[in-house]
Structure 1
Amino acid sequence: MYKQEFPIILASKSPRRQELMKLMGLDFTIELKDIDESYPDGLSPAEIAIYIAEKKATAFTATENQIVITADTIVALDGEILGKPNDKVHAQEMLSKLSGRKHEVYTGVTLIKNNRTVSFYDLSEVFCREVTAEEIDFYIDNYKPFDKAGSYGVQDWWGLVVVERIHGSYTNVMGLPTEKLYQALSDLK
């Protein structure tokens, strides 16, 4: 069983990640650093998620007697990365692509403690039913998914009404694979 001995810094403004950390019973503070989230060409979605999580972590230098946790979530459809939408039209395009299809969600996580770095990722497959343009517009207008990779949140209307099933971790699709995070915290010495 993981017993928290050190302060934890969560380097994420995501309300979903913060909620999941609270539900895990972890005490943490939030500290944000501005980083460039670009990545080199040729990386797989899993490699991109880990690359960006590690990039976020390198912004933290003093990690003695504390744990820093960073994460990045990538939505991929047939190898195409679906990031956060730029605007409503971009969100409509992404959600139309997801309609009636299976896509993958990868979350890369990096933990730093005493300058030791541990990174991992999780993969979940998400299956969506077909949706109409009217449903997509309803979703965008009412749920404003502009801060979400792939233009949707599995914990809101889209997840309740459109997602038919998930193979893998539900919390990974939310943006933080809590099962793997708990194990990584338990193993971190």
Structure 2
Amino acid sequence: MNKKIILGSGSPRRKELLEGLGLGFEVDTGNSFREEYSPDTPHEQIPVLLSKGKSHGFHRQLTDNEILLTADTLVLCGDEVMGKPHDRADAIRMLRNLSGRPHKVITAVTIRDISHEVTFSDTAIVHFKQLSDSEIGHYVDCCRPYDKAGAYGIQEWIGYIGITGIEGSFYTIMGLPVHRVYEELMRFTAR
């Protein structure tokens, strides 16, 4: 592949997942985009809007041999949109709300070069058992999930003991639907 892939995300999980595809890439998080959206934005469109914003807020123009990949993940429980928790109390509140209920995880991805752009999203449904306050407190104190939408990582302790089922891609829940990313990157590199 003679095109250079740039991951415009500081997420260690996205980096790990992209590494799993065996494609060379570099991480460049320089960005001027402010993660804001209108309160009347349809919930399913929020990660799409934020992923595109991150792509277009990239700190420099792309060269003709570069491909930029940005992403955003959102947790939707009922009508509550859950991004990253602000602090310990917010993380505990989020996990209590997720406890015993199914919720959606939506990850949107934008891939672009100097002449083409594609944005897509993938949705998975996660089922949590009823979590005890001690389980929630232990997880928040041990794993400090302040960089994760919905205040949890499926690949961490809370996922091991609390998730009873998923519908959709495990990797979408982790933050990057690699099956779709791979297909799109192959299209971009073939151009």
Structure 2 length as normaliser, TM-score?
0.94
Letter in structure 1 aligned against 2:170: Y
Task: After the TM superposition, list the runs of 4 or more consecutive aligned residues in structure 1 that deviate by more than 4 angstroms.
Answer: none
Using the alignment, how far apart are the partners of 1:93 and 1:76 within structure 2? 14
C-alpha contact (below 8 Å) 1:67/1:113 kept by paired residues? yes
Counterpart of 1:137 in structure 2 is 137
**1:18 and 2:15 matched:** yes
Give me the whole-angstrom Cα distance separating, in 1, the residues matched to 2:38 and 2:139. Answer: 33
| Aligned pairs (5 A) from 1:43-54 | 43-54=41-52
Name which of structure 1's ranges 95-104 and 28-37 shifts more when overlaid on structure 2: 28-37
* Counterpart for residue 30 of structure 1: 27
Cα deviation code 1:61-97 (max 9, x no counterpart)? 2242110000000000012101111111111100000
Check the 8 A contact 1:100/1:128 in 2, yes or no.
yes
Counterpart of 1:176 in structure 2 is 176
How does 1:102-141 map onto structure 2 within 5 Å? Answer: 102-141=102-141
Secondary structure, aligned partner of 1:90? helix
Aligned length: 186
Q: Which deviates the most, 117-126 or 79-88?
A: 79-88
SS at match of 1:119: strand
Shift of 1:44: 2.3
Name 2:56's counterpart in structure 1: 58
Amino acid at match of 1:15: P
Q: 2: distance between equivalents of 1:55 and 1:28?
A: 21
Identity percentage of aligned residues: 38
The residue aligned with 2:38 is 40
SS at match of 1:166: strand
Contact 1:46–1:107 at 8 Å: present in 2 too? no
Instruction: With the length of structure 1 as denominator, give the TM-score of the two structures.
Output: 0.95
Q: Tell whether the 8 Å contact from 2:62 to 2:113 is kept in structure 1 after alignment.
A: no
Distance 2:115 2:39 in 1: 28
Q: Measure the CA separation in 1 of the matches of 2:44 and 2:113.
A: 23
Letter in 1 for 2:7: L
Q: Which amino acid aligns with 1:76?
A: L
Please name the residue that 1:166 is paired with.
166
Aligned CA RMSD, in angstroms, stands at 1.1
Partner of 1:150: 150
Q: 1:105 aligns to what SS in structure 2?
A: strand
Instruction: Tell me how far apart the structure 2 counterparts of residues 160 and 44 of structure 1 sit (CA, whole Å).
Output: 31
Helix, strand or coil at the partner of 1:147: coil
Distance 1:179 1:43 in 2: 27
Q: Distance in 2 between matches of 1:143 and 1:63?
A: 39
Letter in 2 for 1:170: F
Identify unmatched segments of 5+ residues in structure 1: none
User: 1:27-56 CA deviation, whole Å, 9 max, x = no partner?
Assistant: 111111242000122222321111000000
Q: Match of 2:79?
A: 79
